[in-house]
Amino acid sequence: MFNYRIRDLVKSNIRNLRGYEAREVPCRIKLDANESPYGLREWDCRKIARLLRAVKTNRYPDPGAEELKRAAGKTFGVSPDSILTGNGSDELIYYLTITFGGPVLYPVPTFSMYGIIAQALGEQSVEIPLDRAFDIEIERMLKAVKRESPKLIFLSSPNNPTGNCFSVDRIMRIIEKTKGIVIVDEAYQPFSSKKGFLPLLGDYKNLAIMRTMSKVGLAGLRVGFLIADAEIISEVNKVRLPFNLNSISQAIAVEALKDKGRLDSNIKKIISERGRIYKEMGAMSGIEPFPSEANFILFKVRDPEGVYNSLLKKGILVRDMSSIIKGCLRVTVGRPAENTAFLKALKEAVSDL
């Protein structure tokens, strides 16, 4: 007879694991999750409906996502053999960590899933604080590379939640000094003025890049890409679930990638709005925005909790980052009218408090 607590049965590394918290907070203007304000609804709905009627939902999806990899290959300028598709980049982080194991090294603060997944899999993670400019503290990082021999190094650039790109020469030194795989997570690269790492793929066998459709209008579909040497792809592919990417997401993502004009125009609008928000925030007293290469802006206020609550009272949801970076909130760039409402509410919040 079973008379144990389930808790005593789980692996010890799971016992104290706290998963990623994704709470749904009711709001009118949602600027908390680095989503694009422009989604499928902006497109030709009839075209999508036709597309969906052609998808045989009773059949398993294409296990190799071949059509999607061809479309993504064109977008990224790489061969489809260099691409692995994931149910979001999250899943690719899982697969990388399952394949190579730990230690897993990354600077902090950064995207929290690198650490959560390492813990879920019982792999050691090593966190190195960023410097005061939110750049990689290169000497400490290289020391950690030497000391820990990490199997995986995750570098989110542009980095979430700080918004900046890490210095290219620091990333290069890490790639050159490590025996492990360096994954540059370029989730926010479409919004960056800096060159990404795709052109360097051929030169560095241990360089891998992650891209996603989550920040450019398709977060709900869960489509992420790992781009790397075919040998890395082939090893990670062994642990991939054969049908990890559903047919409808495959079909819509193909159409979205082909409609490059639409994607690019939405990205341009967001970059332009980011400039406006940054400038207007900078002109407010009591607000210190940090420059951003992403679709969000990190900013410092005297009373983050007060400002957060004041914004929420007006129906505007941002992300409170103050437990991770002192005094900081993070706002995602929305539609122009949403951004205007945010700026107005922010101005009122700081003058009220």
Of 85, 157, 247, 295, the residue at the interface with a second copy (CB under 8 A) is 247
Residue 90 beta carbon to a second copy: minimum distance, rounded to whole angstroms: 5
What is the spatial distance between Cα 100 and Cα 322, in angstroms, rounded to a whole number? 33
Of 9, 133, 283, 337, the residue at the interface with a second copy (CB under 8 A) is 9
In order of 256, 266, 293, 309, the CA distances from 271 in angstroms are 19, 9, 9, 27
Under rule CB under 8 A, residue 339 binds a second copy: no
Under rule CB under 8 A, residue 290 binds a second copy: no
Of 27, 120, 168, 324, the residue at the interface with a second copy (CB under 8 A) is 120
Under rule CB under 8 A, residue 151 binds a second copy: yes
Under rule CB under 8 A, residue 246 binds a second copy: yes
Of 27, 62, 140, 347, the residue at the interface with a second copy (CB under 8 A) is 62
Give residues 93-112 in contact with a second copy (rule: CB under 8 A).
94, 98-101
Residue 224 beta carbon to a second copy: minimum distance, rounded to whole angstroms: 11
Identify which range of 67-75, 238-246, 313-321, 336-344 contacts a second copy by CB under 8 A.
238-246
Identify which range of 133-141, 185-193, 218-226, 300-308 contacts a second copy by CB under 8 A.
218-226
Under rule CB under 8 A, residue 273 binds a second copy: no
- Tell me the CA end-to-end span of the chain in Å, nearest whole number: 60
Residue type present at position 156: S
What is the spatial distance between Cα 333 and Cα 298, in angstroms, rounded to a whole number? 11
Given the complex with a second copy, which of 51 and 353 has the nearer CB atom?
A: 51
Q: Which of 192, 234, 227 is nearest to 211 (CA)?
A: 227
Angle between helices 66-76 and 247-258 (to 10 degrees): 30
Phi/psi-derived region of residue 117, left when phi > 0, alpha when psi is between -120 and 50, beta in every other case = alpha
Angle between helices 247-258 and 45-54 (to 10 degrees): 140
What is the spatial distance between Cα 67 and Cα 289, in angstroms, rounded to a whole number? 41
Residue 281 near residue 343 (C-beta atoms within 8 A): yes
Of 25, 26, 49, 323, the residue at the interface with a second copy (CB under 8 A) is 49
Given the complex with a second copy, which of 149 and 272 has the nearer CB atom?
A: 149
Q: Which two tokens stand for residue 230?
A: 């075919």
Contact track, a second copy, 159-198, x by CB under 8 A: ----------------xx-xxxx-----------------
How distant is the alpha carbon of residue 167 from its chain centre? 18
What is the total count of residues that contact a second copy (CB under 8 A)? Answer: 87
Residue 173 near residue 149 (C-beta atoms within 8 A): no
What is the spatial distance between Cα 297 and Cα 288, in angstroms, rounded to a whole number? 10
Residue type present at position 98: I
Residue 241 beta carbon to a second copy: minimum distance, rounded to whole angstroms: 5
Give residues 14-43 in contact with a second copy (rule: CB under 8 A).
14, 17-22, 24, 30, 33, 35-41
Residue 327 beta carbon to a second copy: minimum distance, rounded to whole angstroms: 26
Residue 71 beta carbon to a second copy: minimum distance, rounded to whole angstroms: 17
